[in-house]
Structure 1
Amino acid sequence: MPFSTRWRLRLVTPLLWLACGLASAQNPPVAADAPGAPASAAQPSAAQAAALSRDARRIHALSRDKLLQIRTLLRTSNTQASIGSGFFVSADGLIVTNFHVASQLALEPERYRGVYVTIDGQEGDVDLLAFDVQHDVAVLRAGQRTAPAPVLEFRPAAEPLAQGERIYSLGNPLDIGFAVTEGTYNGLVRRSFYPRIFFGGTLNPGMSGGPAVDDAGRVLGVNVAKRLDGEQVSFLIPAEFAQALVQRAASAQPITQPAHKEVARQLLVHQQLLTERFLQTPFQEQRHGNYLVPVPDDALARCWGSGRDPDYSALHLERSACQTNSHVVAGDFSTGTVRLGYEAYSAPSYGAARFAHMYSRSFANERIPNRGSRQKTAAECAERFVDQGGLPLRAVVCMSAYRKLPGLYDMTVLAATLNQPTQGVLGRLDVRGIGFDNGLKLAERFLQSFRWEAAP
C-alpha cells in the first residue's frame, strides 16, 4: 500500500510532443450561464470587459517587441526538443527565462543548441550565461543582433505589490502564438520553500520564462508553473531573483561544456538549507491510537489524512501523508523534496499470526527502486532492528546515487513498529536530492521521533 500525494504541479514549458495534444474532452469548458456554473463565472459588464481588454491590448503593445520564444533544438536534425518563453532585459541582448527552459543547454550543450524567436518571426542563436537552479531562472545572450535590443524594465523593489493588484502574464502558450493573460496578485505562496507569487490567472505550457508585468508594463515576476488540480492557480518567480542573476551574468562567459558540477553545487546548497530547516524545527506529533509519530511543522509541509478504509471490514486503517513544497528542477526531472507518510493498523479480531502476515506484506509492498536508471543507480539498502525508548522498530534505509550529480542521493527510510501483536504503524520518509551525511541525520531524526504512549 504505497503512500501517495494529493496534488500535482506542472512546469509550464512542454517538450514539443506535449504541446500537440493537451486539450481533453474529460474537462470541457463550462459556459458561465450554464446550469451549475459557479457564481464567480458571471460575465463582466460590457464597460468592464472593454476596460480590461484595453488594458491587455496596451500591455501587449508595450511588451510585444521585448517578448521571445526560446527553442531548444537538436543539433543533428535541427528539430525542436522543447519550447518556452523569455524577454529582453538589456540593450546588449541579455534574456531572462527559466532554468528548466534552458536546462538542456546547460547539461547537454554538445547535443542541443538554443534559438530565440521574436514576435515578428526573427530568429537568432542564444548562449547560456548563468543559471539559478534553486529559483529556476536562467540568463541567455542573444546573438546575431546589430541593433540594441528593446528592454522590459523591472519594477523597483521599493514598490511592493498590493493584494489584488492586476498582473499581466505574457508568453507563447502551446507554440500557437504570443498571448497575454490577466490575473491578480494574491500574495506569496504559503509553505513554499522559496518565495513564489500566487498568480490568480492562467499559465499554459510554453509560457515558462515569460514575464509577468504590472499595469505600467514593468516586470514583477517570471512565469514558472501551475497547479493541475485547480483553475487559475499559477505561480511566478519574484523578479528580484532574476535581477540578481542578470547582474551576475553581465560579465559571464557562455557555458559551452556540460554543467553538471555547477548544478550539483547549487543542489547541495539547497539540500543543506532544507536539512537545516528540518533539524532546527521540532517535529509535531501525530497520534494513531497509542502511537505518536513525527510530522513536519505546518510551516514546512502540507499534510493530509484519511480514516477507516471501507475495503477492510475487520481492520482499522488510517493513512496520512506530508510533503514539502521545496522541489527544484535538475534537468529533465525534479528533486529536492521531503515526503513523510504513515499507515496505522489495528485489527484485534485478526489474531497475532494473521496480523503479522498482513503487516509484513504491507511493509514488503513499499516500492524501492531496485533497478538503476539513466539518472540514478539502483538503491542500496541496510536493515536493522532498533529500540527507540522501549519501542522496537524494524528499519530499512536505502540510498540511490545520482549518476551525473556528484554528492547527491535519493533516500528512503521505512519503519515498522513491533511492540503490539495486532497493532502497528508503518512509516516512510522519502528525501530527494540529499547529501549522504545529511540523509543519515534526517533518517536518525525520523526514527528517534516514534513513541508509544502506554494507556494509563
Structure 2
Amino acid sequence: MRLTLILLLLLSSVVRADGDYQTQLNAVFQIRVLDAQADQKSSIGSGFAVSGDGYLITNYHVIQSVVNFPNGYRLEVISATDEVIESRVVAVDVINDLALLKIDIPLDVTLQLAAEEPSQGARILSFGNPMDLGQTIVPGTWNGEVAHRFHRLINFSGALNSGMSGGPALNSNNEVVGVNVAGYGNNLSLLVPLSAVATMVSKIGIETPLDEQVSEQLLADEAARIEALLAGDWSVEPLGGRPAIAAVTDFISCWGASNNDQQERRTNVISRSCRTREGIYLNRHLQTGSIIYNQMVVENIDLSPLQFEFEVHDAMNLGRQSPSDTDYVGPMSCHEAFLEGSYGGHKTIVCVRAYKRFAPLYDVYFKIGSPPQDGQVAMTALALEGVSKSSAQQVIDKLLETVL
C-alpha cells in the first residue's frame, strides 16, 4: 500500500508532461556549433522559435565560439523533424547569457512570451535536448529570484542537464517564462528571467556588429554595477581590532576565517573575504564582472621582527591573475608605492591590464598594507574585473576612505 502511494505521488508530479506537447516541441531546436576544420559538432545546446521570420533564442554560452572565432566555427540548428538548417548569430546579450539566431526559412510554429512571471511554487515545464539524447520535457517548480545577485536569475527545481541550455521554460498556458541556463544537480537549476528574454526578442530586425554589442553591454553593466557598489553601506565593522568593511551591498557575500585551529601557529591571522557570486561569461578563456575584496589582520606571536616583516611582505604579493599577455587581455602592469602624509608607511600595489577586444575595459587589482603597529599588520586586497579606469579609481578611493 505504501509503495503504491509513493508511485502515485511520483506519477502525479509529472502529469502535465504526459499531455500532448507536440506543437511546443516543434518550436524547439537543437543548436550545434561545428568545428570548421573537423566538420563535426564541438558543442550543443537548445533553442526555440520566437518569430515566423526565422528567429530563435538560445544561450550566449552555447554559441560563443561562433561569436569569438567566426572563422573557426559554424552554426546549424536541427528541427524536431531532424532537418539541418544553417544559422547565424544576429544579436547577443552577454550579461544575461542570451543570443538571437536567424535562419533563412519561415517557421510555422513559434512560442509566445508570457505577460508576467509565475508566482513562487507554480509548476512549469522545461524543454531541451539533454546530452544529445533527443527532445525532453522536464517538470519543475518556479521558485522565484535567486538571492544575493546583481543580475537576475530564476531558481527552477527541475533537473536541467548539459545540452538543455537555451531551451524554453513554459507556464501552464504554454507561454515562455524563462530560458534554461544551468543545472547543478539535486533539482537545483537556473533560468534566465522573462524580462531579459523579452528584451532580446525586441531586437529582432536590428543588426549591429557583435563585438560592438558586447562592448556596449559591458560598459553599461559595469557603470550600473559600480554605481550600486558605491551607493552601498560602507560602514566599518572591526576585524581583529582594525577598521574593515563587510558586505557593502546585497549582491556581495562575505565569509570569515582564522587560523585558530592551528596548535603551534606563530602568527594569529583573522580574515574576511567578500565577493560577488556571479560573473559574465565571454568565452572559455575569459570571464569578467567580478568584485572581490579580502581583508586580513596578522598579529605576531613569536616571530622575530625580521621574520615577521618577511611574512608580511610575502602576504602583500598580488598575483591573483597571471600577468602574461593573451589574445584577450594585455600584459599586467604593476606599480608599488608608499602613501604619504598622515598615512605614511602604508604600502600599496596597483596592477592593471587592458582588454583587447572590449576597450576601454580593464582588470584592476589593488592591495594596501599597514605598517606594523603593536606587532600587528592589516591588509586589504581589491579585485575589479572589466571596469573603466575612472570606476576603479572611485572604488579604491572609497575603500581607502573607509579603512584608513
Q: TM-score by structure 2 length?
A: 0.91
Q: 1:265 aligns with which of 216, 220, 229?
A: 216
Distance 2:38 2:58 in 1: 24
Mapped to 1, the partners of 2:181 and 2:61 lie a distance apart of 9
Letter in 1 for 2:15: R
Cα displacement (A) at 1:409: 0.9
Corresponding residue of 1:148: 107
Gaps of 5+ in 2: none
1:402: which partner in 2? 355
State the one-letter code of the partner of 1:173.
P
Aligned to 1:232: 187
The correspondence of residues 356-367 of structure 1 with structure 2, limited to 5 A, is 356-364=309-317, 366-367=319-320
Partner of 1:176: 133
1:441 equivalent in structure 2: 394
C-alpha distance in 1 between matches for 2:5 and 2:302: 61
- Residue 234 of structure 2 contacts residue 248 of structure 2 at CA under 8 Å; is this kept in 1? yes
Change (3 A) 1:367 1:338: closer
Q: CA RMSD in A?
A: 2.4
- 1:6-25 to 2 correspondences below 5 Å: none
2:16 matched residue in structure 1? 55
Query: Helix, strand or coil: the match of 1:330?
Result: strand
In 2, Cα distance between equivalents of 1:272 and 1:388: 32
Instruction: Note if 1:252 corresponds to 2:206.
Output: yes
For 1:302 and 1:226, the matched residues in 2 are separated by 22
Are 1:130 and 2:91 an aligned pair?
yes
What letter is aligned with 1:169?
Answer: S
In structure 1, the residue corresponding to 2:213 is in which secondary structure?
A: helix
Contact 1:394–1:415 (CA under 8 A) maintained in structure 2: yes
Distance in 2 (CA, whole Å) between partners of 1:305 and 1:415 is 19
Match of 1:218 in 2: 175
2:299 corresponds to which of 346, 357, 370: 346
Give the 3-state SS of the residue equivalent to 2:74 in structure 1.
Answer: strand
Contact 2:56 2:102 in 1 (8 A): yes
Show the counterpart of 1:432: 385
1:214 partner letter? N
**Hey, what's the Cα distance between the residues in 1 that align with 2:223 and 2:92?**
19
1:426, distance to aligned residue in structure 2 (A): 2.2
**One-letter amino acid of the counterpart of residue 426, structure 1:** M
Provide the secondary structure at the position in 1 that maps to 2:237: strand
Q: What is residue 321 of structure 1 aligned with on the other side?
A: 273
CA shift, 1:60, in A, is 4.5
The structural deviation recorded for 1:76 is 3.2
Q: What's the offset of the Cα at 1:364? A: 2.6
Residue 239 (structure 2) pairs with residue 302 (structure 1): no
The alpha-carbon distance between structure 1 residues 411 and 357, as it changes in their structure 2 partners (threshold 3 A), is same
CA displacement 1:217-256 (0-9 Å, x = unmatched):
21100111244xx73322111122212221222x234x7x
Q: CA deviation at 1:370?
A: 2.3
Q: Name the CA distance, whole Å, in 2 between partners of 1:208 and 1:237.
A: 10
Offset at 1:421?
5.0
Mean CA deviation greater in 86-95 or 48-57: 48-57
Separation (CA, whole Å) in 2 of partners of 1:400 and 1:289:
33
Per-residue deviation, 1:408: 1.0
Cα distance between partner residues in 2 of 1:43 and 1:124 = 47
Counterparts of 1:276-295 in structure 2, within 5 Å, are: 276-295=227-246
The 1:365–1:397 alpha-carbon spacing in structure 2 relative to 1, beyond 3 Å, is: closer
Tell me if the contact between 2:92 and 2:213 (Cα under 8 Å) persists in the aligned partners: no
Which residue of the partner structure matches residue 157 of structure 2?
200
Q: For 2:148 and 2:345, how far apart are their aligned partners in 1?
A: 33
Aligned identity (percent) is 25
Equivalent residue of 1:418, what SS? coil
Q: Is the 8 A contact 1:336 1:431 kept in 2?
A: yes
Q: Could you tell me which residue of structure 2 aligns to residue 11 of structure 1?
A: none
Instruction: Judge conservation of contact 1:171–1:210 (CA < 8 Å) in 2.
Output: yes
3-state secondary structure, aligned to 2:198: helix
The question of 1:121 aligning with 2:82 is answered: yes
Q: Which secondary structure does the structure 1 equivalent of 2:356 belong to? A: coil
Unaligned runs of 5+ in 1: 1-41, 452-456
- Greater shift, 362-371 or 105-114, is seen at 362-371
* More displaced 10-residue stretch of structure 1: 77-86 or 50-59: 50-59
- Report the Cα distance in structure 2 between the residues aligned to 1:284 and 1:200, rounded to whole angstroms: 37
Match of 2:66 in 1: 105
> Using the alignment, how far apart are the partners of 2:325 and 2:396 within structure 1?
22
Other structure's SS at 1:56 match: helix
Following superposition, the deviation at residue 414 of structure 1 comes to: 1.3
Q: Tell me the secondary structure at the aligned position of residue 245 of structure 2.
A: strand
- In structure 2, the residue matched to 1:7 is none
Which one has more relative contact order, counting CA pairs under 8 Å at least 6 apart?
1
The TM-score, its normalising length taken from structure 1, stands at: 0.81
Residues 1:73 and 2:34 are matched in the alignment: yes
Letter in 2 for 1:162: S
Q: Distance in 2 between matches of 1:379 and 1:309?
A: 35
CA offset digits 1:318-348 (Å, max 9, x no partner): 2221111342222333211101112221123
Letter in 1 for 2:109: P
Structure 1 residue 116: Cα displacement: 0.5
What displacement does 1:397 show?
A: 0.9
Aligned residues: 401
Structure-2 residue corresponding to 1:243: 198
Residue 189 (structure 1) aligns with: 146
1:416 to 369, 377, 384: 369
Which amino acid in the other structure matches residue 45 of structure 2? G
Q: Is the 8 A contact 1:188 1:197 kept in 2?
A: yes
Q: Distance in 2 between matches of 1:198 and 1:219?
A: 15
The 3-state SS of whatever aligns with 2:307 is helix
Q: Deviations over 1:131-160 (max 9, x none)?
A: 1222221111123x3x53311121112xx4
- The alpha-carbon deviation at position 196 of structure 1 amounts to 1.2
